[in-house]
Structure 1
Amino acid sequence: MTDTTTVVAMPSDRSTNFDWGAVIGGALIATALSFVLFAFGSAAGIASVSPYSWNNPSGMTLTIVGAAYVSIVMIGSFLVGGYFAGRYRRPSGAASVEERQSRDGAHGLLMWALALLVGIAVAYWSTAAVVSGASGAAAGAAAVAARSDGVTTALDRMMRINTDPASTAAPQNSRAEIARVLSASALTRGEITNEDRDYVARLVAAEARIAPEEARKRVDGAIEQAKAAADTARKAAAGIAFLIGALSIVAAGAAYWAAMAGGRERDSNVWR
């Protein structure tokens, strides 16, 4: 006697292929889980560093651990959200196994996109709320400073004191003038004219009471250090952006796979 198994098609009462309730639920779960884990990781990172200890982890160690933790949180959160979206979406009627898996994966991708947008929106509005109080008072001063920056630089050049390299008396507010010259020349345009370089070297020589040649070396070294610091910050920002982009793509694949796994678990209970 041969046993036979009859597969009964479950009718679908939906007019669309997408179950938005499962997608939204998975996105909310992924977003909430990631924020909770990020808060826990931030607290652990702050607790691991103490201003009263000489045995704090190095910057490289904190960077590696932080990047690994962010990777685990992002991928893990989207795995959970994708599984939820695939597991709890309503069946697709008499669709084939391949079609059901494709739809499950599509729900995982939709969940990933929605959770990513929600996370970006929450992070943006949270940051805006934190800085809005402080930025209000600083905005007016920053705008005035930005408008007067070119005028201040022009006035500095017109009113420059003809410093004597042999003099040991430094002009008043020489440090503020040096800062303005470096900000307007070396850091903003990426270069400094020989006239500005010589003038700053004379100011440094008078302020530090050193020989002009030594002052010129110090100015050149400070300019190169400032450029190196700016280049390092630029590379770090590019690396962080690349890491976030790569993790987002990997998280999308994880959500797709988890949604199909959740769909298989759903079908094993619905179709038998």
Structure 2
Amino acid sequence: MQSPLPSAAVAAAPTESSSSAVSWASIIAGAFAASTLTVILMLIGSGLGLTMVSPWTGSSAAPTTFAVSAAVWLVVVQWLSSAVGGYLTGRLRTKWVNVHNDEVYFRDTAHGFLAWALATLLLAGVLGSALSAALGSGVQAAATVASGAAMGASSAAAASQRPSAESSMNYFVDMLFRPADPASATAAQNDTAVAQAGRILVAGAANGEVSPDDRAYLAKLVASRTGLSEPDAKKRVDTVLAGIDDAKNKAKAAADTARKAVATFSLVGALSMVLGAFIASAAAALGGRQRDEEEALFLNR
């Protein structure tokens, strides 16, 4: 049986410290500082974004310019807020005694990361709705300006998916049956022809195209209602159908642009968060090292 260690050896054996290696007070302080600075910078970015859009055609910045500016500002916000929060976390933590320098560096880095994580949770959980409203105002204004010209047209292109589809085609039906001589138009209207034309246009929008037979029938309806010759009526039908196709293409282009913008914003947002975590960790390590150096200089005076 092995003999017990001498009492002197037991006394000299290292013991675990009773104090925690995590300074939650400094982490919470750094997280609150980072969260507050993020809100301020986001409000500034929202104001700058609204200056880039305008309800007047041609007065707004290009969608690509707006998206790039928003992405750059998002990275700047993460960089500044994470740097401030991480640095404060490192400077405000308590001094660890009898700890190796490598361990101190690791703890400071971990404290910066924890401060960034807590700040992110605070923004997502507590301030998420207010922050989304501030950010969304600028993005929504830009999207409204960019797709405003196609909104009315897209409602007609998607009319086949709603119960009130025929009412959405009224504008195009009116284009078909405008009389050649408005002065000679009478109050009597051929409601049956108008209803048939509306149903043909709705079916064409649903199928992607109007069949040749429907085109020919539309031309005859237009000729009988407006007094135009059949070649002129056929030309009018082709013009109206081309306008509907153009409206559908504009709606698809606007939807595709919005999809790409959301995808780009999501990827840039994730990248900026990773960058923020790294900056917060590095800033905390820098702040902690400066704190220990300042205290060492003070004690050596």
TM-score, normalization by structure 2: 0.59
Alignment of 1:106-117 (within 5 A): 106-117=110-121
| Match for residue 36 of structure 1 among 40, 45, 59 | 40
SS in 2 for 1:107: helix
**2 CA distance for matches of 1:112 and 1:60?**
30
Give deviations 1:126-165, integer Å, cap 9, x for gaps. 37999xxxxxxxxxxxxxxxxxx97837x97xxxxxx9xx
Give deviations 1:158-199, integer Å, cap 9, x for gaps. xxxxx9xx9666736x889978996xx5xxxxxx45579997
Is the aligned partner of 1:79 residue 2:83?
Answer: yes
**1 CA distance for matches of 2:119 and 2:218?**
56
User: How many residue pairs get matched?
Assistant: 227
Q: Displacement of 1:220 after TM fit?
A: 2.8
**2 CA distance for matches of 1:200 and 1:122?**
58
Bigger radius of gyration among the two: 2
Give the structure 2 partner of residue 171 of structure 1. Answer: 194
**2 CA distance for matches of 1:75 and 1:198?**
63
Is the aligned partner of 1:90 residue 2:94?
Answer: yes
**2 CA distance for matches of 1:111 and 1:196?**
64
Is the aligned partner of 1:152 residue 2:156?
Answer: no
Point out the more displaced range, 214-223 or 26-35: 214-223
Give the structure 1 partner of residue 292 of structure 2. Answer: 267
Q: Displacement of 1:215 after TM fit?
A: 3.4
Give the structure 2 partner of residue 219 of structure 1. Answer: 244
* Unpaired stretches in structure 1, ≥5 consecutive residues: 1-10, 131-148, 157-162, 186-191
Question: Is the CA contact 1:80–1:258 (under 8 Å) kept in the aligned structure 2?
Answer: yes
Is the aligned partner of 1:234 residue 2:238?
Answer: no
Residues 102/200 of structure 1: CA separation in 2 closer, same or farther (3 Å cut): farther
* Unpaired stretches in structure 2, ≥5 consecutive residues: 1-15, 135-159, 167-172, 179-189, 227-232
Question: Is the CA contact 1:198–1:216 (under 8 Å) kept in the aligned structure 2?
Answer: no
**2 CA distance for matches of 1:94 and 1:200?**
89
Residues 150/232 of structure 1: CA separation in 2 closer, same or farther (3 Å cut): closer
Q: Which amino acid aligns with 2:194?
A: P
Q: Which amino acid aligns with 1:258?
A: A
Residues 128/82 of structure 1: CA separation in 2 closer, same or farther (3 Å cut): closer
Alignment of 1:189-208 (within 5 A): 192=207
TM-score, normalization by structure 1: 0.65
Question: Is the CA contact 1:201–1:215 (under 8 Å) kept in the aligned structure 2?
Answer: no
Question: Is the CA contact 1:86–1:258 (under 8 Å) kept in the aligned structure 2?
Answer: yes
Q: Which amino acid aligns with 1:225?
A: K
**1 CA distance for matches of 2:198 and 2:131?**
34
